[in-house]
Structure 1
């Protein structure tokens, strides 16, 4: 590139502008989110971190199109988000797999709804399950798999529709510590091997630092963006590294007041 040339700046994949969400109740309106401005770059791994009830999951569902914004707008891939779409995959804490379907049929359920032929769906299932390390489980039922395996199937199901962004709502929260660590490694590998952006909700500071390119720290309700922390540590992340611990300590300090406020709010409501 010559000295006069400027690097080409890629537009963000997803943008939240002035986003707010208020739930209308029988009593006073319940304000969940307010004044959210955020850009998500292509192939970026962004983690939402904040205390319970701060609106992290609400923002994820707004981005997925499962809920409608009260203020502002969300744009993904150049189009305003008003409903769910195949450009956005969503993975819940509960895998929500159909117990009467095989693993392969669960992975390609969305493709069946799109009327893809059975033979083609089988090929896609084989390809996806190989990517998530479960190629031998294609004909098993979900209840024959461990919790970590079922979450890998849920990730595979979301990837089968080839989304541009994968939205994950605390998918590893119910797993034991060892399985959770392995699933973090798995998800990082899937992200590095694909063109997808990931937006991941967690309460766990170590998990946030292990996964993120950027960590979006939320205030207590009504949720606002308190700060955005870039994570420049090399991958794979070494949790024993001093820089890793320095960053978790910094995030702990940032979160302390917000957690206290969230607890105080919960006590007031009770």
Structure 2
């Protein structure tokens, strides 16, 4: 495994931004009695090949921002661009991986991986070739003909990553993809993801609730406030990979991120309690 980190400076050009958010806001159920503000005035640039983690309390809009960048939802205010083009709809250039793998149980592994290609109209031989290549990249080439229920949780998540990679995205959006895995499997998946990321050269936007995970993976950690979600601060992590979680540098980063989140988590809990009392 390579030990040197890639940085945005190594992979980006001065005028190119993989994702650019300008005063992006989102109000769910706008104009109704159930309206609530999820995001407010998000300004953020992600460089090509950069790995960025989103960290914040529950309900702060981290996942909402991913859906907006994916084009699955429309912002209430502001604008999102990807490589100079306004994001108005989903695109193969931006692949979203959910917490749940959402594999089709009646399809084989390779058919699941190539599902997007079939919708695009690619031929059978092309789909199978691309699926084989993607599965090789995630170490599951021998599972081509298996069904999802024959795989472990970690293997199913790797299939989900392969399905995203099959579309050759420039931006990989990941919404707590390892949250349901046990600690040991999650650690293995983190190592695997770093290898895949290096090989693909895609930008990765990774939502997590785990400070340890953010410290292990990211070039930068975007810390969100409690709802409405705003960017409280962005913490750069300039450490070689793989990172020693017991090093003084990683411990200092964990303490810094814990301190940054403490007030936001308290605010989020207080808001949830107030909502529960009003019901």
> What TM-score, normalized by structure 2, do the two folds share?
0.93
Aligned twin of 1:135: 141
Q: Which residue of 2 aligns with 1:195?
A: 201
Q: Does 1:264 align with 2:270?
A: yes
- Aligned residue number for residue 21 of structure 1: 26
| Aligned partner of 1:236 among 226, 231, 242 | 242
Aligned partners of 2:90, 2:240: CA distance in 1, in Å? 34
Q: Matched residue of 1:18: which SS?
A: strand
* Aligned residue in 2 for 1:98: 104
- Runs of 4+ in structure 1 displaced over 4 angstroms? none
| Residue aligned with 1:188, SS | helix
**Alpha carbons of 1:195 and 1:95: their partners in 2 closer, same or farther (altered >3 Å)?**
same
Report how many aligned residue pairs link the two structures. 264
Q: For the Cα contact (< 8 Å) 2:16–2:83, is it kept in 1? A: no
Distance in 2, Cα, partners of 1:130 & 1:241: 33
Secondary structure of 2:41's aligned partner:
strand
Gaps of 5+ in 1: 1-6
Say if 2:140 is the partner of 1:109: no
Question: Structure 2 matches for 1:213-228, cutoff 5 A?
Answer: 213-228=219-234
Q: How does 1:17-166 map to 2 (within 5 A)?
A: 17-24=22-29, 26-27=32-33, 29-166=35-172
Q: Distance in 2 between matches of 1:63 and 1:111?
A: 21
Residues 110-157 of structure 1, C-alpha deviations (whole Å, 9 max, x = no match): 001111110111111111101000010000000000000000000000
Please give the residue correspondences for 1:148-187 in structure 2 after superposition, counting only pairs within 5 Å: 148-187=154-193
What is the distance in 1 between the residues matched to 2:15 and 2:77?
A: 26
Does the 8 A contact of 2:99 with 2:176 survive in 1?
Answer: yes
Residues 21 and 79 in structure 2, CA contact (< 8 A), matched pair in contact too = yes
Alpha-carbon offset, residue 34 of structure 1: 0.1
2:22 and 2:257 mapped to 1: Cα distance?
A: 25
Q: Is the 8 A contact 2:222 2:231 kept in 1?
A: yes
Point out the more displaced range, 168-177 or 187-196: 187-196
Q: d(CA) in 1 for partners of 2:15 and 2:48?
A: 8
Residue 9 of structure 1: CA displacement? Answer: 2.0
In structure 1, how many angstroms separate the alpha carbons of the residues matched to 2:75 and 2:227?
A: 16
Cα displacement (A) at 1:28: 5.4
Q: CA deviation at 1:195?
A: 1.7
* CA distance in 1 between partners of 2:78 and 2:47 (Å): 19
TM-score with structure 1 length normalisation?
0.96
Q: Is residue 9 of structure 1 aligned with residue 14 of structure 2? A: yes
- The CA deviation string for residues 4-57 of structure 1, in whole angstroms up to 9 with x for no partner, is xxx962421110000000012642520000000000000000000000000000
